[in-house]
Amino acid sequence: MHSPKRWLGLSSLVAACVLAGCSSVSLNSGAPVENRTGPDGMTGSVAPIVPVPPGHYAVKPGDTLIRIGLETGQSWKDIAAWNQLPNADVIEVGQILRVVPPSAQPRASVAGAAAAATASQAASSGVEVRPIQPQGSASTGSAQAATPKTPPVTTVHATPANTSGIQFVWPANGPLLSGFNETNNKGFDIGGASGDPVMAAADGHVVYAGAGLRGYGNLIILKHNDEYLTAYAHNKVLLVKEDQRVARGQKIAEMGNTDADRVKLHFEVRRQGKPVNPSSYLPKR
């Protein structure tokens, strides 16, 4: 038989456990916590990927309007105006910016519209378009059509010709230190002494003059037409201002080593914002 004292102790222990359970509920009965874990185990809401329409640009981390202008072949001031930015220094990652004039269409869209118009005209006129058959060949239904002989093709590897319509000159007289490489060097590095003249490679106007683009030091960007820009980096002194027109061969800066490991001119040619090999545009020395 159990003594009354033992039963009393056991009853007290059970009551204490019940009270402890009740008190634990009351201590943690704060605001409910919302579970934000998604089905893939990631927390937070993931913003949907917004497609970038033609003629626009999605801001990436580290971007500035100056860099976007260089990458798209436009003036940073134009981009600010087209997007009605109250402060050109404030843009946000993921922001979609117009990088062509509002009245202009992207090149791909213009070509597509022209092709569609041609097809539409052909259809409306009722004209059936067939490929032209080589002279002397049999009709399409003939099983013994003569096959014209193709002469052997000789491949000649040469430097692409300058098709820009722009006459370029070398922007500095020093030796070529480093050539174009799409991965490591987006232009030419030309050597020289501090203070050597840096010349405009072609007629154009200054769309940027300053030191606001990391890695380029004192930089000048010239726009030559709707397709081509040239960039001149690491200068000691800038001799031109934004919106100023310059002539081919005009001295625009003095060579230096700002943001560089030695005195040199880093020179880029960009077509529609994409770096291209300057050797395709500069005359042979």
Q: Tell me, yes or no, whether 118 lies in a domain.
A: no
Domain count, the chain: 2
Q: How far apart are CA 197 and CA 11, in angstroms?
A: 99
275 and 188 co-located in one domain: yes
Which of 98, 128, 151 finishes a domain? 98
Q: Which domain holds residue 224?
A: 176-280
Q: Tell me, yes or no, whether 12 lies in a domain.
A: no
Q: Tell me, yes or no, whether 243 lies in a domain.
A: yes
Q: Tell me, yes or no, whether 22 lies in a domain.
A: no
Q: Minimal CA–CA distance to 263: which of 222, 233, 241? A: 233
Q: Would you state the pLDDT for residue 200?
A: 98
* Token pair recorded at residue 165: 């319509």
Buried b (16+ CB within 10 A) or exposed e, 139-155: eeeeeeeeeeeeeeeee
Q: Which domain CATH number covers 86?
A: 3.10.350.10
pLDDT in tens, the chain (285 residues): 555 555 445 455 444 444 444 444 333 333 333 333 344 444 444 445 678 889 999 999 999 999 999 889 898 999 999 999 989 889 999 999 999 998 876 554 333 444 444 444 444 445 454 555 545 444 444 444 455 555 554 443 344 557 778 999 999 999 999 999 988 899 999 999 999 999 999 999 999 999 999 999 999 999 999 999 999 999 999 999 999 999 999 999 999 999 999 999 999 999 999 999 999 999 998
Q: Would you state the pLDDT for residue 233?
A: 98
Q: Tell me, yes or no, whether 20 lies in a domain.
A: no
Amino acid at 229: L
- Any idea of the CA torsion for 232, 251, 247, 282, to the nearest 10 degrees? -50
Q: Tell me, yes or no, whether 64 lies in a domain.
A: yes
- Any idea of the CA torsion for 73, 74, 79, 82, to the nearest 10 degrees? -110
Q: How far apart are CA 60 and CA 185, in angstroms?
A: 21
Q: Which domain CATH number covers 197?
A: 2.70.70.10
Q: Would you state the pLDDT for residue 124?
A: 45
Q: Would you state the pLDDT for residue 105?
A: 62
Q: Tell me, yes or no, whether 103 lies in a domain.
A: no
Which of 32, 67, 98 finishes a domain? 98
Which of 76, 98, 120 finishes a domain? 98
Q: How far apart are CA 180 and CA 163, in angstroms?
A: 19
Q: What secondary structure does DSSP assign to 125-189, as a single string?
A: HTPPP-PPPPTTPPPTT-TTPPPPPPPPPPP---PPP--SS-----S--S-EEE--BTTTBSSEE
CA distances from 51 to 57, 75, 101, 274 (A): 10, 24, 20, 21
Q: Would you state the pLDDT for residue 246?
A: 98
Q: Which residue has the tokens 């990088």?
A: 99
